[in-house]
Structure 1
């Protein structure tokens, strides 16, 4: 379980609690549970189902790679031939800048200072091509549960034509996921959480994201987000933490 303290509406303190069991009804107005493994109703909260794909990396590497589809395996190999390399990035401010530039191109919400509250529980990785960082991932790590959860993924490419850039970035993204799995496996983590899955969606963009996640295999898991029933607080949580 991971817990951080922050503020809602600039004055009200609240806790964001990840990967917990059944939420506590005590101080329910001040607690927001993300991806709880409990799936029943709890007084004081509104429960929302949260689905995600989880890959078991507590196996031999060839075992979880065997669940990748053919195209994904090919793209990973092609990225290596392209000369894409991956590494860990330690500068969180640089990641935020990178992500926010990406967010502008996709009309997504920008990251704010809340991410700093996670401290050492955030791990950043990146893929580099021709000395340019083109894909970055931010993970939330839970040492107790041996679980890593993809929080944010972003890609930028400034030096190639669009079609070639998208192809290279797509291959680099797959390679980065694979190398991240291997990295976290080496560090003793067991569950690689791809960060959400849009069940029943008809949105073409979300369907493509689902297909991308499906290409790595894994197990579809249902968890729960528990939001305070207070209307203003509920709306705030939905705006800043919806994933």
Structure 2
């Protein structure tokens, strides 16, 4: 279990608790439970379903690889032939800049200084091709639960029209996931969490993301997010005054 103190809407102190069991009722005024293993309502909280795909890292590596679909297995081998290498990135500012450039091209929210609250719990990895960082992953690591959870994934293209480079980046992303599994398995982690799964969605972009995650095999897991009601009230007024 991980606990991180932050503020909701820059106003209300919130204790964010990851991977816990049943939320404590007496914490409902200031605690936000992320990916709780409990899946029924709890008084004082607003519960939302959360689904994710996980890979069991206690399984032998060769068995994990048999769960990959043919395309993923091929692209991992091809990325290695392309000369893609992987390593750990220790410069958090570099990752933030890298991600924000990616977010700008995809019209996604940028990462702000709030990522510093995760600093001691983050591991960032990257894939490198032709002396350039082309893919990065940032993981939340829970040493007590032996679980790693993908928080951010980003890739950059020097030329959107360069179809060869785009293909290499796609292969590098799959290779980086595989190498990350190997890294965390070697470090003694048990669970590799791909960071969410959109169940019953009609959104084409989310369907493509689901397909990508399915290509690694794994197991679909049902968990819960529990939001404290004061945060919901602040959210309501925040939206109302902005409309």
Task: Identify which range, 14-23 or 26-35, moves more after superposition.
Answer: 26-35
CA RMSD of aligned residues (A): 1.7
Residue 240 of structure 2: aligned partner:
none
Q: Take 1:166 and 1:50, find their aligned partners in 2: how far apart are those partners?
A: 31
- Cα distance change, pair 234–219 in 1 and its aligned pair in 2 (3 A): farther
Asked if structure 1 preserves the Cα contact closer than 8 Å seen for 2:160 and 2:166, the reply is: no
Q: Take 2:135 and 2:74, find their aligned partners in 1: how far apart are those partners?
A: 18
Helix, strand or coil for the counterpart of 2:26? coil
Asked if structure 2 preserves the Cα contact closer than 8 Å seen for 1:228 and 1:234, the reply is: no
> C-alpha offsets along residues 130-173 of structure 1, whole Å, 9 cap, x if unaligned?
00000000000000110000000000021574322221110000
Residue 165 of structure 2: aligned partner:
165
- Cα distance change, pair 232–111 in 1 and its aligned pair in 2 (3 A): farther
Residue 30 of structure 2: aligned partner:
30
Q: Take 2:235 and 2:19, find their aligned partners in 1: how far apart are those partners?
A: 19
Q: TM-score, normalised by structure 1?
A: 0.94
Residue 208 of structure 1: aligned partner:
208
Residue 145 of structure 1: aligned partner:
145
- Cα distance change, pair 224–235 in 1 and its aligned pair in 2 (3 A): farther
> C-alpha offsets along residues 168-189 of structure 1, whole Å, 9 cap, x if unaligned?
1100000000000000000000
Asked if structure 2 preserves the Cα contact closer than 8 Å seen for 1:227 and 1:234, the reply is: no
Q: Take 2:10 and 2:37, find their aligned partners in 1: how far apart are those partners?
A: 29
Residue 240 of structure 1: aligned partner:
none
Q: Take 1:154 and 1:74, find their aligned partners in 2: how far apart are those partners?
A: 22
Asked if structure 2 preserves the Cα contact closer than 8 Å seen for 1:20 and 1:36, the reply is: yes
Q: TM-score, normalised by structure 2?
A: 0.94
Task: Identify which range, 3-12 or 192-201, moves more after superposition.
Answer: 3-12
Residue 16 of structure 1: aligned partner:
16
Residue 197 of structure 1: aligned partner:
197
Helix, strand or coil for the counterpart of 2:20? coil
Task: Identify which range, 80-89 or 115-124, moves more after superposition.
Answer: 115-124
Q: Take 2:228 and 2:148, find their aligned partners in 1: how far apart are those partners?
A: 26
Q: CA deviation at 1:124?
A: 0.1
How many correspondences in the alignment? 238
